[in-house]
């Protein structure tokens, strides 16, 4: 069975389940005995379709649509609202599943960040005067210092904090930019990558590349990971607006917006952890080996959890945190 036939044959049942969920408004008893029976039948059919879609059409948006539909129906059928809304369930499984279920936007977000960073590095070497014009005034003091940047501990802390604060802002702008069809999200990712590349390139030319690396790398890997996943969430919202598929645009937007909010909520503790590393470890002058260990260690833990906890076997609850409307 190909994807088109699969959707054509099952679409009426999925739409009926969506109508039942709208009529129930979170309480199955509103449907009456016949409605509850139909709800159970359509839920079981959608769950079977989800299992098939995961095997046959992995990576296609139809999988995300069915996951959303089954996840919304399951609490009404099994009275599992408490499990679905559990913070522990979300933190241990739901958040990682949200990141892993759509790898393409995550890879695109990383490509925009890294690609722009490489361009910024090349630009700073080719025309450092023009590249410096991109750097906000708060960063420029460090660019004018002598061969070792001559940064005092206080200046190092301020410089690192400035970069951290900027990246936090980019994380939320990248998410919110999804409502602009994803274009502001892409622009935010490109700008942040370009800015980091330019600053790193200028610092390197001033002889302070190692200092810059030691200031940024311990928390930078985790922080850029947070930017990538929130940016990917924004791109998903934008894609739902532009290409809603067989769903109504409002339905597609609601589904992706709910997922995006969950990604942002789940990312906040990791942003806090990156901030703690920046505030307490970065100013200590750990040395290159320790810097590499901390930065790579945090990145490995984060993406290791995505790969490990992000897998969702057929029939498993999605661990959603944000309730369906």
Contacts of 169 (CB under 8 A, 6+ apart): none
Find out whether 212 and 203 touch, Cβ atoms under 8 Å. Answer: yes
Nearest to 174 by CA among 221, 235, 118: 235
Axis crossing angle, helix 3-24 with helix 32-56, rounded to the nearest 10 = 150
In the chain, where the domains are located: 3-91, 103-309
pLDDT (0 to 100) of residue 178: 87
b vs e for 58-85, b when ≥16 Cβ sit within 10 Å of the residue's Cβ? eeebbbbbbbbbbbbbbbbbeeeeeebb
What three-state secondary structure class fits 285? coil
Query: Residue 137 CB: number of other CB atoms within 10 A?
Result: 6
pLDDT (0 to 100) of residue 315: 46
pLDDT (0 to 100) of residue 147: 41
pLDDT (0 to 100) of residue 245: 73
pLDDT (0 to 100) of residue 157: 59
Residues found in the chain: 325
pLDDT (0 to 100) of residue 80: 45
Give 323's DSSP letter. Answer: P
pLDDT (0 to 100) of residue 39: 86
b vs e for 267-282, b when ≥16 Cβ sit within 10 Å of the residue's Cβ? beebbebbbebbeeeb
Please state, in angstroms and rounded to a whole number, the distance separating the CA atoms of residues 254 and 40.
23
Nearest to 59 by CA among 21, 106, 16, 93: 106
In a 13 Å sphere around the CA of 45, the CA atoms on its Cβ side amount to 17
pLDDT, one tens digit per residue, over 160-206 is 566 667 667 788 888 888 888 899 999 999 999 999 999 989 888 87
Encoded tokens for 60: 């296609």
How far lies 63's CA from each of 94, 178, 244, 248, in Å?
Answer: 16, 21, 14, 17
Q: Given CA atoms 18, 259, 60, 112 in this order, what sign does their dihedral have?
A: positive
Residue 195 Ramachandran class (φ > 0 left, ψ -120 to 50 alpha, else beta): alpha
Encoded tokens for 250: 């409002």
**What is the residue whose two structure tokens read 């928390």?**
219
Stated pTM of the model: 0.72
Residues of the chain with pLDDT under 70: 79-86, 138-164, 166-167, 246, 282-285, 312-325
pLDDT (0 to 100) of residue 57: 86
């Amino acid at each position: 069975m190909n994807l088109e036939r699969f959707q054509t044959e099952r679409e009426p049942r999925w739409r009926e389940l969506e109508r039942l969920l709208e009529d129930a408004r979170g309480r199955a008893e509103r449907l009456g005995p016949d409605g509850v029976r139909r709800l159970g039948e359509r839920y079981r059919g959608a769950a079977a379709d989800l299992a098939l879609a995961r095997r046959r059409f992995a990576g296609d948006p139809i999988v995300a649509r069915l996951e959303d539909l089954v996840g919304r129906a399951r609490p009404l059928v099994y009275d599992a609202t408490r499990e679905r809304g559990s913070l522990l369930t979300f933190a241990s499984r739901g958040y990682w599943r949200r990141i892993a279920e759509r790898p393409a936007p995550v890879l695109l977000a990383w490509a925009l960040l890294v690609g722009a960073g490489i361009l910024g590095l090349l630009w700073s070497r080719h025309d450092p005067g023009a590249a410096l014009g991109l750097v906000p005034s708060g960063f420029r003091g460090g660019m004018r210092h002598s061969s070792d940047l001559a940064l005092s501990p206080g200046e190092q802390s301020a410089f690192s904090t400035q970069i951290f604060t900027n990246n936090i802002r980019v994380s939320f702008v990248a998410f919110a930019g999804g409502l602009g069809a994803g274009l502001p999200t892409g622009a935010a990712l490109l700008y942040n990558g370009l800015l980091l590349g330019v600053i790193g390139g200028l610092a390197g030319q001033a002889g302070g590349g190692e200092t810059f690396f030691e200031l940024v790398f311990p928390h930078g890997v985790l922080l850029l990971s947070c930017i990538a996943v929130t940016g990917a969430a924004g791109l998903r919202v934008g894609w739902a607006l532009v290409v809603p598929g067989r769903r109504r645009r409002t339905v597609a937007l609601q589904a992706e917006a709910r997922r995006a909010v969950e990604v942002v909520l789940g990312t906040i503790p990791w942003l806090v952890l990156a901030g703690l590393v920046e505030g307490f470890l970065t100013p200590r002058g750990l040395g290159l080996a320790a810097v590499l260990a901390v930065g790579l260690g945090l990145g490995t833990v984060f993406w290791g959890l995505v790969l490990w906890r992000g897998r969702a076997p057929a029939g498993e609850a999605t661990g959603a945190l944000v309730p369906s409307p």
